[in-house]
Amino acid sequence: MSDSVSEPPYDRVWNFSAGPSTLPVTVLEEVQRDLLNYKGHGMSVLEMSHRSKIYGQIISEAEATLRHVLSVPDNYSIIFLQGGGTGEFAATYLNLFASTAVREKQRKLGRQLSCDYLVTGSWSKGGLKEVQRLGGKPNVVLNGVVSAESGDVVYNSLPPVSEWKLGKPEETAFVYYCENETIHGVETPSDLVVDAVDPSVPIICDMSSNMLSRPVDIKRFGAIVAGAQKNMGPAGVTIAIVRKDLLERDDDPEAIRNLPSVLDWLYFERAGSMPHTPPTFSIYVCGLVFKWVEKQGIEALHELREARSNLVYGEIDAHPEFFRGGVDTRYRSAMNIVFNLPTPELEAKFIAEAAEHNMVQLKGHRSLGGIRISLYNAVPLDGAKKFVAFMKQFYTQNHQ
């Protein structure tokens, strides 16, 4: 296998984990430099009070940088939360139904509003199950596609928009979808959804795994939620970007009776994301990643994401009988590429030999098996080149 690509510094591996995932080396270097004594203040951020002036500057700067790189409009709040994407399954439903806009719409209708869910894989299915558990009235707009071979529902494509079962706008509280399904390797183009939905209905999007990988037209969404541990920083912090009118509430205590404070967007927003001790260190590292993204440029990162994924998909497409992708080419994820080999034994061999070449975290999700390579922002193009070179070698040595 060619060794023409640059290897990671500090004897690091090529980490293709689906999350928590690799971070920019320059960010890790800055964290290391300041770990014992942050900017001459005599203590680590790990030890710092979240009420201190120093930390107030850290979190304010993190928010301002994210607002700048994503061009977040002034009528949207950026909130740092906890609980991950799973917590936001519940938070989305509970906060929207506590909002004045949804409550007034429901009073006008005279019955419970429905919630539209686009189920494109495991994570959006999790969101659907949570709203069912909480007593919501979900409307399944789509649920994968039916396999022509088995007749089973599979998550490797989307039906045409003409077959979507969107609810009537006057009967719908919100539309929810997960833009990138890390397990199934399906990425739904945002324009496909926002163009199909009536503009009076807020769209709530889980962007946990493709946030900051390309420009986003924030104003077309009611809220965007994302766990940080893919493209934005370490695990422990979740970010919500919420249109401010969806945070407005009346004085009726019934509006928030079933909304725990820990999931309450408005409770956090009013307290500057710090009604209690936040995940201080995770937010600090996120802020450094935001600055790294700002320096790289969001358009450049978009070009990089396409270049990386095109390299890998090109090799899959060159030998489809061996590298068995299976995801509809229109909806293949640029972040998480999944494929199978002809036998489980070959897959185990592939993973073991890749590790010998300094490439790790390639085992597919336990629910699907196979191979999964995750190509988040901090993976340089050389990482994809190294992987493709290994694919070529493995194919040569193992195909029949």
Residues that are catalytic: 123, 206, 230
Other C-beta atoms lying within 10 Å of the C-beta of residue 270 = 13
**Spatial distance between the Cα atoms of 59 and 72, rounded to a whole number of angstroms:** 16
Nearest residue to 342 (alpha-carbon basis) of 361, 355, 323: 323
**Spatial distance between the Cα atoms of 209 and 122, rounded to a whole number of angstroms:** 13
**Spatial distance between the Cα atoms of 97 and 83, rounded to a whole number of angstroms:** 19
- Token pair recorded at residue 262: 């820990």
* DSSP string for residues in 175-241: EEEESEETTTTEE--HHHHHHHS-TTSPEEEE-TTTTTSS---GGG-SEEEEESTTTTSSTT-EEEE
**Spatial distance between the Cα atoms of 134 and 92, rounded to a whole number of angstroms:** 11
Is 235 exposed, middle or buried (CB count within 10 Å of its CB: 0-12, 13-18, 19+)?
middle
Q: Which DSSP symbol is given to 332?
A: B
**Spatial distance between the Cα atoms of 387 and 54, rounded to a whole number of angstroms:** 42
Q: Which DSSP symbol is given to 338?
A: E
**Spatial distance between the Cα atoms of 10 and 7, rounded to a whole number of angstroms:** 9
Q: Is 55 helix (H, G, I), strand (E, B) or coil?
A: helix
Radius of gyration of the chain from Cα atoms?
Answer: 22
Q: From residue 34, give the alpha-carbon distance in Å to each of 55, 59, 61, 120.
A: 14, 16, 17, 42
112 and 106 Cβ atoms separated by less than 8 Å: yes
- Whether the link from the prior residue into 320 is cis, omega within 30° of 0, is no
